[in-house]
A = this chain, B = another copy of it.
Amino acid sequence: MNTFGNIFRLTTFGESHGPAIGGIIDGCPAGLSIDTSLVDAELKRRREGDTPSAHTTPRREPDQVEWLSGLLDGTTLGTPIAFLIRNLDHRPEDYDALRDCCRPGHADYTYWQKYGLRDYRGGGRASGRETASRVVGGAVAKMWLRTQGVTLQATRQGYSITCRVHGLPAGVGEPVFDRLNARLAYAALSIPSAMAFAMGEGVDDWRLSADDYPDQWVSHGQGETLTATNHCGGIQGGISNGMPVVFHVGFHPPVTRPDGMVCRCPDGTLKQVAPHGRHDSDHGARLPVIVESMAALAVADLLLTHAASHR
């Protein structure tokens, strides 16, 4: 539900216009040094993208992280690490016009159908704002992964994000249902507006012919020189083989139209509404760090799971 992972687990909370967002990281090994400035840098990437952009939302949240537990002198105790980020620059009155109706392309209708009520202020829990919690959790996962020699580096082309994981040893992934590629897809498709996923060095490598697809062995190759090509994206039979793990995530464009939208009222009638809320006109720039964060969480969790039984 709101927890991701079996050993390295992130539980998040928070609505777009509630008092705060945040989370609890459980299962992070003890003795890890947490550099909070690295976490802040990741949150900055999420706000601004990797190159500053004119397209991100006018809403300005400083994203100040408050660390509540699990650390002593900057080192993890092995106990749950809780954090919060207060929502400061929120203007819930902006959404009064939406109180009764559902916008097209958003989650208003489905949340109303599921819960019988909804938080009409700015998308509530469905808002992209909750991804800030994932970035904090992912940042801690990345710090632990670095101690294991594993790094991540995502890039974008429009609304398609490519993510690479380097240094992951062979053997990570838990067949048959917790295959590494399955957990990565699960993690990626949980990101708001995520729609597509593909494994492989190239986004269409899986469409290669039977003659071209299989990656051939390199004589005496291992780790990142194991195979001559990497069409499988570093995963075979759901388990990492030591090559870079490469996958791609596709997102749909922002659905809030600045000119107004035709919304649906509870009785089924439609009405034109122009919301005042502040939104991204192009949120693509924010996505790479979010994809890396979810990948880091999935990889850290499976690396720990593998370590339990098969070191």
Give me the interface of A with B, judged by CB distance under 8 Å: 1-4, 6-7, 9, 11-15, 18-24, 26-27, 29-31, 66-72, 75, 77-82, 84, 102, 104-107, 109-111, 113-119, 124-126, 130, 159, 169-179, 181-190, 192, 194-200, 205-211, 213-217, 219-222, 226-227, 231-233, 235-242, 250-255, 257, 261-264, 268-270, 304-311
Contact between chains at A198 and B250 (CB < 8 Å): yes
Copies in the complex: 4
Known: A159-B207, A182-B190. 9 other contacts (CB 8 A): A14-B82, A19-B66, A23-B24, A113-B171, A126-B238, A182-B186, A182-B188, A189-B199, A232-B252
27 inter-chain pairs at a CB distance below 8 angstroms, sorted by A residue, are A1-B178, A3-B26, A11-B11, A13-B82, A30-B309, A31-B116, A72-B117, A78-B310, A104-B215, A105-B213, A109-B236, A110-B173, A110-B240, A115-B310, A116-B310, A159-B206, A181-B194, A185-B188, A195-B205, A197-B197, A205-B252, A209-B253, A216-B262, A217-B262, A221-B268, A222-B268, A307-B311
Q: From A169, which residue of chain B is reached at the shortest CB distance?
A: B113
A12 proximity list for chain B (CB < 8 A): 80, 176
Instruction: Indicate whether A306 sits within 8 Å of B114 (C-beta atoms), given known contacts A77-B15, A77-B119, A198-B250.
Output: yes
A123: shortest Cβ distance to chain B, in Å?
A: 8
Contact between chains at A237 and B104 (CB < 8 Å): no
Contact between chains at A227 and B104 (CB < 8 Å): yes
How far is it, in angstroms, between the C-alpha of A187 and the C-alpha of B197 when the chains are bound? 13
Q: From A214, which residue of chain B is reached at the shortest CB distance?
A: B105
A23: shortest Cβ distance to chain B, in Å?
A: 8
Contact between chains at B114 and A78 (CB < 8 Å): yes
Contact between chains at A195 and B200 (CB < 8 Å): yes
Instruction: Indicate whether A80 sits within 8 Å of B13 (C-beta atoms), given known contacts A105-B213, A197-B185, A264-B217.
Output: yes
Contact between chains at A77 and B24 (CB < 8 Å): no
Contact between chains at A199 and B195 (CB < 8 Å): yes
A36: shortest Cβ distance to chain B, in Å?
A: 13
Instruction: Indicate whether A238 sits within 8 Å of B107 (C-beta atoms), given known contacts A13-B70, A189-B181, A268-B220.
Output: yes
A264 proximity list for chain B (CB < 8 A): 217
In the A-B complex, the 10 residue pairs with the smallest Cβ-Cβ separation, listed nearest first, are A107-B237, A105-B214, A186-B186, A195-B206, A308-B308, A110-B239, A113-B170, A30-B115, A114-B171, A13-B82
